[in-house]
Structures are given as C-alpha cells and as structure tokens.
Amino acid sequence: MARPYVLLRRRAWAALADNTQIALDEGTLERLRGLGDPTSRDDVREIYRPLTQLLHLYMANTGNLVKDSNRFLNLKVRRTPFVIGVAGSVAVGKSTTSRVLQELLRRAPGHPKVDLVTTDGFLHPNEELIRRGLLERKGFPESYNRRALLKFVTDVKSGVPSVSAPVYSHMVYDIVPDEHIVVESPDILIVEGLNVLQPARVDSEGRAGVAVSDFFDFTVFVDAAEADIKTWFLDRFMQLRATAFRDERSFFRRLTEISDEEAVARGSHIWESINGPNLRQNIAPTRERATAVLRKGADHSVETIAIRKL
C-alpha cells in the first residue's frame, strides 16, 4: 500500500522554506526568548518557519473552500476559526511547540488573533475521578469530560462569539472551581492535549459519533523515543520540585521533604504507572492520524518531519 506520508529529514524540510519571509522569525525569536521559550534558534528557522508556511497554505485554501461551499449551499455563516490540534505524550513538548506556532502565526500579514487552549481543563474534577475509580488514570481518554470538550470545540468552530472552558491547575492538581478561560472569535485556535487525535467512540450498537479531531483543519503530533520523553518528564519533575512544588498550595509539596533519590523514584513510578502506559496504549496509536509528525531527538531538536500527502 502506498504510504500517505512524505518523510523528510531536517535539512530537506528546512530547504522548503521561502526565505523571502526571513524577517518573520527574527522578531519572533526575540519575543520567544522573552517568554523563556527553550526552542533553539535553529529549530525556529529550520522547522517551525516552513511549518508555518505550510499552515498558511492550508489556511488560505481551507478558507476558500468553506466560502465557496457555503455560497453553493446558499448559507450565510460567520467566518469560523482555523483549528489546529497538537497531540503527543506528557512532557514531549506540546506546550512549547504550540506556543512557538502561536507566536509565528500571530506575525502573519493581518496579525491574526491566535488563541491557545489545553485540554486539561476538561479533565473531570478529582472528586469525580475518585467516584469513577480513575484518579490513577489522569490523562487517559476516560478521565476527560469528552462531551464538554466536544461541545467547546464545536461551538468555537461554529463561530459562537464567546465560548468558555474550565481551568486545570497543576499546582493544586485539580480543576479550579469557578475559573474559566474565554475564547472570543479567534482567527486561529490551537487545541493542545494528549488525546486530541483520538477517534470517535463506537457505542454498543456500533454507531460512531463525532470526535474533536473531526473539527481540526490541521494536526501536529510531537513524537520522540519514550526513553527520551521519560528523561524530559523526570527533569521537569525535579525542576518543579525545586520551585513550584515548594508552594504551600502545591499538591506535591510533600515531595520537597524527601530525598532526591526518593523523588526520582516517585517521578519514575508516575511515569511507569500512568504516563508511559497512556502513551503506549492511547497516544502513540493516534500518531498516523496527524497531518504533520515532528520527531525529536534526545536534545529536543526535530530530526525528521512527516507530512500527509494523501
């Protein structure tokens, strides 16, 4: 069977960029540095600049198709945002990739409004997870209120002017009651989360519904070897232990009172019992559904890029 992807090594991918747009990433690089973003200058130039250019092609053509199709159907509809899904394991770099894309896309002509939401706000609150016996499965598809997430994405995509989403706090390790983020008519929405590429569930009568991925115009899967991702997870875990976990509101505060060795063992246990199995069972199997797969090496630099051609 023909492969629906074209697989490019970094150098060949970088050569595709249109260099007339070089000014685009100079200002962006400065701004990303200001935000403390760890993405290397080379990755912004050689990986994210061509990706942004490809996204511009998709946006222009999707916009025209929607306009022409609505004219054909005699529909007068509000302009709807272009929705990008960013998927991948815990700690693979989804937030970082999403933030870089947000900054690059914002700098396009016309300065589009680019909003970013993470799906963790749609996790069930801990109380509900406990009731369902899922507290040890945070991040697995069943730990989310999938109906609410689907409604959120459908509303934004339908052009509803103001749509709100709940907020998750990593500090408190739970949904924050009465806090919301509001998405107001963006030109582009980036939806980042572990499970955004999950296909629709099939009910007991064999009927498949719709899934959030049905509303995406472009999807990115951030990929790496599990051993590298686990290292990044543990590095971040130990960094947080030296900083955010010290806060008295932090759920993980007691981890600051144990030895480094015990803390590494605890982080490793979280990986081996929750995030690793979730990667293997639920997240990695959705990789081939993405429009673009960015494969990172041990130093976080992107080594190969696969783009759907069919």
Ligand X SMILES: CC(C)(COP(=O)(O)O)[C@@H](O)C(=O)NCCC(=O)O
Q: Which residues on neighbouring strands pair with residue 220, listed in sequence order?
A: 86, 292
CA dihedral 88, 89, 95, 99 (to 10 degrees): -30
25, 43, 46, 120: residue in contact with ligand X (rule CB under 6 A): 120
Q: Does residue number 95 form part of the binding site for ligand ADP (CB under 6 A)? A: yes
The half-sphere exposure of 99 on its side-chain side, counting CA atoms within 13 A, is 14
Secondary structure letter of residue 140 according to DSSP: S
Q: Does residue number 46 form part of the binding site for ligand X (CB under 6 A)? A: no
Instruction: Look up tokens 């500090």; give the residue.
Output: 171
Instruction: Look up tokens 């008519």; give the residue.
Output: 185
The verdict on whether residue 76 carries a ligand-binding annotation is no
Q: With CB under 6 A, what is the number of residues at the site for ligand X? A: 12
- Residue closer to ligand X by CB (options 118, 282) is 118
Classified as helix, coil or strand, 162 is strand
Residue 139 interacting partner from ligand ADP, ligand X, none (CB closer than 5 to 8 Å by kind): ligand X
Residue 38 interacting partner from ligand X, ligand ADP, none (CB closer than 5 to 8 Å by kind): ligand ADP
* Strand 302-308, strand 5-9: pairing: antiparallel
Which residues ranging from 72 to 91 are in contact with ligand ADP (CB under 6 A)? 88, 90-91
Instruction: Look up tokens 């693979």; give the residue.
Output: 92
d(CA 142, CA 121): 14
Helices (H) and strands (E) in the chain, counts: 10, 9
Task: Please give the distance of CA 82 from its chain centroid, rounded to a whole number.
Answer: 15
From 12, 11, 170, 17, select the one nearest 91 (Cα to Cα): 170
Contact assessment for residue 241 and residue 108, using Cβ atoms and an 8 Å cutoff: no
The verdict on whether residue 309 carries a ligand-binding annotation is no
Q: Does residue number 290 form part of the binding site for ligand ADP (CB under 6 A)? A: no
Q: Does residue number 93 form part of the binding site for ligand ADP (CB under 6 A)? A: yes
Classified as helix, coil or strand, 185 is coil
232, 245, 252, 271: residue in contact with ligand ADP (rule CB under 6 A): 232
Instruction: Quote the least distance from Cβ 91 to ligand ADP, whole Å.
Output: 4
d(CA 307, CA 310): 9
Q: Does residue number 190 form part of the binding site for ligand X (CB under 6 A)? A: no
Q: Does residue number 90 form part of the binding site for ligand X (CB under 6 A)? A: yes
10, 45, 94, 124: residue in contact with ligand ADP (rule CB under 6 A): 94
- Residue closer to ligand X by CB (options 13, 233) is 233
Per-residue contact track with ligand ADP, 233 to 272, x per CB under 6 A? Answer: ---x------------------------------------
- Residue closer to ligand X by CB (options 168, 216) is 168
Per-residue contact track with ligand X, 140 to 169, x per CB under 6 A? Answer: ----------------------------x-
Q: Which residues are annotated as a binding site?
A: 88-95
